[in-house]
Amino acid sequence: MKITIEQERSIIMEILTRFNIPEEDAYIVADVTMDADLKGFTSHGIGRFPQYVKGLKVGTIDPEAEITVENETASTALLNGNHKFGHVVTYKGMELAMKKAEQTGVGLVGVHNSNHFGVAGYYSDMAVMQDMIGVVIANTEPAVAPIGGKEPIIGTNPIAIGIPANKNYVSVDMATSASARGKLLEALRKGQKIPENVALDCDGNPTIDPEAALKGSILPFGAHKGYALAFMVEIMAGPLVRAAFGKGVKGTANPEEMCTKGDLLMAIDPSKFSDIEQFKEEVDEFVAEIKGSGETIFIPGDMEVNNIKRFREEGFSIDDTLFKQLKEISEELSFDIDAIIEG
């Protein structure tokens, strides 16, 4: 079945208000989730709500928690999310990074005791919208084995970088694993196979079965280079921000465990380096140079732009299993999901 983006917002708002999540916070969670589905990152969209609802029920997500600032300088801060909704903590963290960048040229905010935040690129986009460069990294519960090993120790550790331009949307938003874990969970839910060269089973053999892959490990992207990069992210979003690392990271995929991962959010104000208009023009010039080099050349961010255009107009598909899960949630929380969809 297909739903529109506004129907998605209504479903999410109905769910979150029943857990007494303040409207402003619920709006942020809905916005980030809609952004994921619009950009085609359905592995991190409304399909994650059964996980979040479980987290709210068992108390690993605390809607009423207050974010506290544990350490602060003119350009840095360390936030304790106190297990609030991850989307809200990361949103507030990036707001703070941008405020600091406005003053000092760079804002660097570390976060611990947060929760799964959806797509990393939403928060780098926040900086881009203020003519800043946004960088977001995070660690997650283990999924990736070191090269040569078969035991998952490293997370899928996403990296998002957004750069302002006048004519182009320039953004990379990706896991450092060959596939986001969410895509494996999505394939499992839909009864699909996963692509080759993405994952190993628990004996270290290649597999296209999502269930075997989730019990085994996901490969890093780009062989040893992806592993090396994920390794560094694990530390910069782990011990640097007083979060867990390696096998100590819990609760990003399993909502029954308190989340121990960390995030590092950076905003850079290019106007503190040179003229912002000249900078943006040069970014556009570079994009033109790249695109002029062939017929079918894409830049990081094109996929998202194309998907947003398409899914905003057409709506997007929800598979039967996900709809069944959302319907069960709606019945339990006493709202009429059919009325929203029939609209």
Ligand X SMILES: NC(=O)c1ccc[n+]([C@@H]2O[C@H](COP(=O)([O-])OP(=O)(O)OC[C@H]3O[C@@H](n4cnc5c(N)ncnc54)[C@H](O)[C@@H]3O)[C@@H](O)[C@H]2O)c1
121 contributes a contact to ligand X by CB under 6 A: yes
Which strand (E) or helix (H) includes residue 278? helix 276-291
The binder of ligand X chosen from 120, 127, 128, 340 (CB under 6 A)? 120
- 209 token code pair: 């079965």
Token pair of 247, please?
A: 């096998």
Least Å from the CB of residue 298 to ligand X: 4
Q: Contacting ligand X (CB under 6 A), which of 100, 112, 116, 250? A: 116
| DSSP H or E stretch at residue 7 | helix 5-17
> How far does Cα 223 stand from its chain's mean position?
22
Cβ nearer to ligand X, comparing 152 with 182: 182
Answer for the pair 208, 195: CB distance below 8 angstroms, yes or no. yes
| Identified binder of ligand X from the candidate list 87, 183, 250, 280, rule CB under 6 A | 183
Residue 173 tokens, joined: 């938003």
Contact 227, 144 (CB under 8 A): yes
Residue 100 vs 116, nearer CB to ligand X: 116
Q: What is the DSSP letter of 220?
A: B
158: contact with ligand X by CB under 6 A: yes
Nearest distance, CB of residue 251 and ligand X, angstroms: 11
Binding to ligand X (CB under 6 A): which residues in 122-141? 138, 140
CA distance 47 to 270: 36
Footprint of ligand X on 293-312 (CB under 6 A) = 298-304
Q: How far is the CB of 271 from ligand X (least distance, A)?
A: 25
Min separation Cβ 244 and ligand X, Å: 14
Compute the radius of gyration of the chain from its Cα atoms.
20
Query: Residue numbers of the site for ligand X (CB under 6 A)?
Result: 41, 43-44, 116-121, 138, 140, 156, 158, 160, 171-175, 179-180, 182-183, 252, 298-304
